[in-house]
A = this chain, B = another copy of it.
Amino acid sequence: MNQALEGIKVLDLTRVLAGPYATMILADLGADVIKIEMPNIGDDSRQFGPFVGEESAYFMSLNRNKRSITLNLKSETAKGLFVEMIKEADVVVENFRPGTMEKLGLGYDELKKINPRIIYAASSGFGHTGPYSKRAAYDGVVQAMGGIMSITGEKNGKPTRVGPSIGDIAAGMFTSIGILAALQYRNVTGVGQKVDVAMLDCQVAILENAISRYVVTGEIPNPAGNRHSSIVPFEPFETVDGEIMIAAGNDTLWTKLCEVMERSDLADHEYFKTNLLRNTNYDILRPMIAEAIKTKTTYEWQEILDRVGVPNGPINTVDKVLQDPQVIAREMIVEIEHPVAGKLKMPGVPVKLSETPGSIRRPAPLLGQHTEEILKEILGFTNEKIDELMKENIF
């Protein structure tokens, strides 16, 4: 057994981002993820640019390690096949609007009658309960409603959307956590269950201590810019050719920073010697640090600060992230050969397991690429049977 989730069969009805991110995590760790797509159309994100030839880079980066079967779930014959597949599956994942699976007659209550061991995971905008349940949401909407925008942005500036779609991605991560926890429960009891994850809930969960901070102080948090709320210096400073984040988290690091800035006079200065003093006298201190940092390039400061152990880092653009020696050493950028699009770089697997390292075993599938293979493998169909079904236009 080379993969942690080897042998776990996942039927994946998800589209676009939150759901596919969840099943990508499972697939990267070894689950057999079978993507069930609408014939001719498939996952909406197959139409999202940019494209390599006619293949969506967006789709390809989220759907590696998965196989694709087409199935028109509006047809009764296709529903029958899906139900047969449910009998052989461990997990089913969907991110439709709540109620969609019930309308198809394939809601959790139906599926668990067919396979009581099935783990049914639903990722949706607002969840399967509550007054907003039936509403559609997008990443931008839940970032707005969930509070994260209100505390992101320049000091005294406007609420700002987080660049990556953290509304979707956080939901994808918590969905995979829910599935894995349900798997543990099933390993002990033999019983499956439903996992209901809402994008909005996940935004509240990642707000974390902003909530208790508000509750305790009564102060409504605002965008705070790039400065740490209570540690000085802990923010980016301009260099000759860019910016560098400097995080002198305690007085020892402050002393070291003063030395390399050639401002040892500041280290024990009665205005600056403790973090509390540095906070109080921030307005006179910041320009002095800024003046010193402005004299060298970002790279020069990295070398100097790393040598004395002051935590720091450049504000990397995406191109620089791909060149970072640590990112490369950790295999966090992988290059996958796609049969049509050729080689494509994308993020690697962030969960590093010593015995069963995650792996990229196959590129994202073409639409319906594995339909026959899966019908034979899971349902034991013959070529004749498949030919017959093909006439029904369900694939």
Interface residues of A (CB under 8 A from B): 1, 4-8, 17, 21, 25, 29, 48-52, 57-58, 60-62, 108, 126-133, 135-138, 140-154, 157-166, 169-170, 173-174, 176-178, 180-185, 187-189, 191, 193-198, 200-202, 204-217, 220-226, 228, 230, 234-236, 243, 245, 247, 249, 306, 309, 311-322, 324-327, 329-330, 332-333, 344-356
Q: Across the interface, do B131 and A325 meet the contact criterion of CB distance under 8 Å?
A: yes
Interface SS of A by simple majority: mixed
Q: Across the interface, do A140 and B195 meet the contact criterion of CB distance under 8 Å?
A: no
Q: Across the interface, do A351 and B174 meet the contact criterion of CB distance under 8 Å?
A: yes
Task: List the B residue with the shortest CB-CB distance to A248.
Answer: B138
Q: Across the interface, do B205 and A129 meet the contact criterion of CB distance under 8 Å?
A: no
Q: Which of A140, A230, A249, A309 has the most CB of B within 10 A?
A: A140
Task: List the B residue with the shortest CB-CB distance to A131.
Answer: B325
Q: Across the interface, do B315 and A144 meet the contact criterion of CB distance under 8 Å?
A: yes
Q: Across the interface, do A5 and B141 meet the contact criterion of CB distance under 8 Å?
A: no
10 residue pairs, one from A and one from B, having the closest CB atoms: A151-B163, A130-B329, A180-B180, A193-B355, A144-B245, A145-B313, A194-B354, A152-B163, A57-B212, A178-B351
Q: Across the interface, do A211 and B322 meet the contact criterion of CB distance under 8 Å?
A: yes
Q: Across the interface, do A353 and B182 meet the contact criterion of CB distance under 8 Å?
A: yes
Task: List the B residue with the shortest CB-CB distance to A343.
Answer: B215
Q: Across the interface, do B152 and A160 meet the contact criterion of CB distance under 8 Å?
A: yes
A19, B351: Cα distance in complex, Å: 14
Number of copies: 2
Q: Which of B236, B344, B356 contacts A215 (CB 8 A)?
A: B344
Q: Across the interface, do B326 and A164 meet the contact criterion of CB distance under 8 Å?
A: no
Question: Which B residues touch A196, using CB under 8 A?
Answer: 352-354
Q: Across the interface, do B177 and A351 meet the contact criterion of CB distance under 8 Å?
A: yes
Q: Across the interface, do B313 and A247 meet the contact criterion of CB distance under 8 Å?
A: no
Q: Which of B154, B220, B347 contacts A207 (CB 8 A)?
A: B347
Q: Across the interface, do A352 and B57 meet the contact criterion of CB distance under 8 Å?
A: no
Question: Which B residues touch A52, using CB under 8 A?
Answer: 216
A52, B212: Cα distance in complex, Å: 10
Q: Across the interface, do A216 and B50 meet the contact criterion of CB distance under 8 Å?
A: yes
Q: Across the interface, do A149 and B315 meet the contact criterion of CB distance under 8 Å?
A: yes
Q: Which of B25, B228, B345 contacts A140 (CB 8 A)?
A: B228
A sample of 14 inter-chain contacts (CB < 8 A) reads A4-B181, A4-B185, A138-B249, A141-B247, A149-B315, A151-B164, A174-B350, A185-B356, A193-B354, A198-B352, A200-B326, A201-B330, A215-B344, A215-B346
A281, B145: Cα distance in complex, Å: 28
Given contacts A314-B145, A315-B149, contact A5 B181 (CB under 8 A): yes
Q: Which of B8, B60, B130 contacts A212 (CB 8 A)?
A: B60
Task: List the B residue with the shortest CB-CB distance to A187.
Answer: B187
Q: How far is the CB of A124 from chain B (nearest CB, A)?
A: 11
Q: Across the interface, do A150 and B316 meet the contact criterion of CB distance under 8 Å?
A: yes
